[in-house]
Amino acid sequence: MPQPPRTPEAAPLEELIGTVADAPPGNWVDRYAPFAARPYLRLSRADRPIGTWLLLIPCLWAITLAAGIDGFRPWDAWLAVSCGIGAFLMRGAGCTWNDITDRDIDAAVTRTRSRPIPSGQVSVRQALVWMVAQALLAALILFSYNTLAITLGIASLGLVAIYPFAKRFTWWPQAFLGLAFNWGALLAWAAHSGTVPPAAVALYAAGIAWTLYYDTIYAHQDREDDALVGVKSTARLFGTDTRRWLAIFFALTITLFALAVILALAPSGRALPLVIALAGVWAMGWHMVWQMRQLDIDDPASCLAVFRANRDAGLVPVLFLAAAALL
């Protein structure tokens, strides 16, 4: 049975000042952050920014693709910056909530037992206060948007609340993560134009397929531990058939992304911006093909490296979409 998390008073000093096992070595939190702040920054995964990037990228897709319809506006500079800050805060709040709900599971998994709550660096009550503080700061940003975007932002809280429990009742928790992590595609589009057209919905669907792709890869790191503690995942569900499913998710991502571009830009009748935007989707596809060639699902280090490579894969089309919008 998983051991209950120790209180901060019971944890040895060397553990409190140590590092988290699954954080990148030499990260800025371990090297530069004040001692008292480190457990809270670790709860927010500030020591591993890849999650913030993956939450932000669908927002950037939406801003640049929507701008391809009606051009960039001065507001879009604030929108991009605020989405970045909001992604950091909401990812931090979501990860804190995830660690609160998963504290007993994390204590039983080798990769996660050194996280702040199961290792005793932070109490559940302290984590709850930290989660609320991050969410309130994110709300201040959200309330600077239009009414539709605010409504969508509030609606997303249900997905954030449900996600940590998904692995307890479905083999597809990665789908719930996709629903939550790509909500920014709808919200940012609404914040730019005040509408959520079919192109935005197609972009959201592309992001969900992309999350199924990269988070299945990520989940293969914990496949054996998850089986021991009874946690479900697409990695366990697919097993040796994972590569075929990854190919399906890859195809869905690129197809739905291309559909979003066509729905957004084709009605204008301007060929060059459409071609440039589709070239960005094509480039993302080639990056994902390269990932598949590098991936060894039985090597946790390979899974983590390929998972992290999706930051670059997702940023590639942003550059092309921005270029198309500037035309």
Domains and CATH numbers, the chain: 32-326 (1.10.357.140)
Burial class (CB in 10 A: 0-12, 13-18, 19+), 133: middle
Task: Report the predicted TM-score, pTM, of the whole model to 2 decimal places.
Answer: 0.90
DSSP string covering 119-147, please?
TTSS-HHHHHHHHHHHHHHHHHHHTTS-H
- The most confident of the ranges 27-36, 48-57, 111-120 is 48-57
By the 8 A CB rule, do 234 and 172 touch? Answer: yes
Is 60 exceeded by the pLDDT of residue 15?
no
- Tell me the average pLDDT across 293-310: 96
Distance in angstroms (rounded) separating the CA atoms of residues 257 and 314: 11
Render pLDDT for 222-262 as a digit per residue (tens, 0 to 9): 888 888 888 899 999 999 999 999 999 999 999 999 999 99
Look at residue 91 in the predicted model and tell me its pLDDT: 94
The whole-number pLDDT of residue 18 equals: 65
Lowest mean pLDDT among 141-150, 169-178, 222-231: 222-231
Query: Looking at 48-62, 157-171, 196-210, which range is the least confident one?
Result: 157-171
Residue 110 pLDDT > 50: yes
Token reading at 65: 């693709």
Q: pLDDT at position 9, please?
A: 42
Q: 205 vs 163, which has greater pLDDT?
A: 205
In the chain, which ranges are continuous DSSP H helix?
Answer: 13-16, 28-32, 38-43, 50-70, 74-101, 103-108, 124-142, 147-169, 173-181, 183-193, 198-219, 223-229, 234-238, 242-265, 271-294, 300-308, 310-326
Average pLDDT over residues 125-154: 96
